[in-house]
Amino acid sequence: MLSVRHRMVRVALVAAVAAWAAIGSSAAAVLGASITFGTPTATSTFGKGIDFTQPYTGGGTFSEVDIVITYPGGYGPSVIQLENPGASSFDYLLDTSSGEMQPNTQLMAHFEVVLADGTVATGPDIRVTYADDRFQWQTMVGGIVRLHWYEGDDTFAKQALQMGEDGIAKASAFLGFNETAPIDFFVYADQTAFYDALGPGTRDNVGGEANPDTRTLFALIAPGDLSYASTVVPHELTHVVFGDITQNPYHDPPRWLNEGIAVYVSQGFDSSDKQLVAQAVSDGTLMPLAALSGEFPTSQQGFYLAYAESVSAVDYFVRTYGQADLDKLVKAYGTGASDDDAFKTAIGISTDAFDKAWPKANGGTALASFGPQPEPTGPVPSDWTSSGAAGSTSPPTQVPASTAPLGASASPNTGGTGQSQKGAPAIVYVIGAAVVAVALVLVGVAVSRRRSSRGAP
């Protein structure tokens, strides 16, 4: 058997060897924890995905490998951890087969590696545009608008481009905003291809769509039908200007305001929309503006009525308060203001007040509010009410005497709590309880003495 001293020496040696081994392995990990990134690549295929590849050398043991992707309009990057990093390259496929990502979406990405010593190595940035590679696109560039088309001659392209330039100029002038950054305008000649580009959530009656985040306009325009484009193009480009002004991370403007301004700029409050609103007022189907804050109805009738109501409300706003106050309203939304704050900043009234005034201007009445309502109060004992009537919702006006603090006298009951009228004040009950308690103690003492005198076991 080893002595205590020998055991202590042995333990110390073992600990020293273990510590040296740990230092040696850590040093080896640190020495091996280095990585050299090569030139990354990204390949986009419409309807399938984007392949990101980052070659590298060295590295040793990795604790974690991530790809960090930044999307246009996002307020922070997406971080995805790679499950099986390659031995000489990191590879990641961003799946776009769901159709949610639209063409002309510009992405920026890079790979991050957590090395064995805990340090993080960051690879070079990768920039890629998710493109619709099904067509041979031609491009014609104007002052702001860049037109992309695959069917039609140069004459058609020049006319479409001019519509875009005129539309952006008109929207910018109306909203008091100077556009300087380019806007891409993609013209599709085929409806199926157009809907595939916009994604699975596209409504049946859509002929154009703007994406302010990517600064892209998509429109369905056959080469021989530019008359239709004369309203679609300025309408959608107005959305881009509106989006630039109202961009904020807190609160989106109501959809009726966005769509109403786009219709107002592109075609005004025309006779067909006036007729739709008048008919809705007549048959009682007019929708409150609060119902048009988000998505519009899916039925064709409701869809068109929603647009007619939206431009009607904007027209009423401009006639009542002026275009300058409308510009003030739009700019207020750019600060992240709530609906009420934006309207009060612009015209001094709440959205509810505006929502009630607008139908009257169209010959209607204030519309009823729907949605969550206060829950009705159930019946309460008659003694809890000020009138004494069973089922009344009036709260009691006196604190019940039984809840009064010790030593306090209950106030005379004039409202009907009932307890100070039906019985004695609370102090009487307290004194009575104390007397009973003392009596029980005395009885217990007497019994104890009696048992003691009898020699209890």
Domain boundaries, the chain: 35-130, 138-361
pLDDT in tens, 171-184: 999 999 999 999 99
**What is the reported pLDDT for 385?**
61
What local confidence, expressed as pLDDT, does residue 172 receive?
A: 96
Tens digits of per-residue pLDDT, 51-63?
999 999 986 778 9
pLDDT for res 378: 76
Task: Return the bridge partners of 112, or none.
Answer: 66, 122
Q: Quick one: average pLDDT of 364-377?
A: 62
In CATH, the architecture of 138-361 is: Orthogonal Bundle (1.10)
Torsion of CA 25, 29, 30, 34, to 10 degrees: 160
The pLDDT confidence band at residue 375, using thresholds 50, 70 and 90, is: confident
371 Cβ partners below 8 Å, 6+ apart?
none
Q: CATH for 35-130?
A: 2.60.40.10
At 447 the pLDDT is: 37
Q: Give me the pLDDT at residue 108, please.
A: 98
The predicted pLDDT at position 24 comes to 35
Measure the N-to-C terminal CA separation of the chain; round to a whole number of Å. 61
Per-residue tokens: 190: 């085929």
Q: Is the pLDDT of residue 390 over 70?
A: no
Based on its alpha-carbon atoms, the radius of gyration of the chain, rounded to whole angstroms, reads 38
| pLDDT at residue number 384 | 74
Question: pLDDT tens-digit profile of 208-263?
Answer: 999 999 999 999 998 877 887 889 999 999 999 999 999 999 999 999 999 999 99
pLDDT of residue 372: 63
Could you tell me if 393 and 377 are in contact, meaning their C-beta atoms sit under 8 angstroms apart?
yes
Residue 363: pLDDT band with limits 50, 70, 90:
confident
Mean pLDDT value of segment 315-336: 97
pLDDT value of position 33: 60
Buried b (16+ CB within 10 A) or exposed e, 224-235: eeeeebebbbbb
Please provide the average confidence, as pLDDT, over all residues in the chain: 80
- One-letter amino acid for residue 201 of the chain: G
Top-confidence residue, 418 or 364 = 364
| Model pTM above 0.95 | no
pLDDT at 138 > cutoff 60: yes
Number of Cβ within a 10 Å radius of residue 92: 21
**Is the CB of residue 207 less than 8 Å from the CB of residue 359?**
no
pLDDT greater than 70 at residue 15 = no
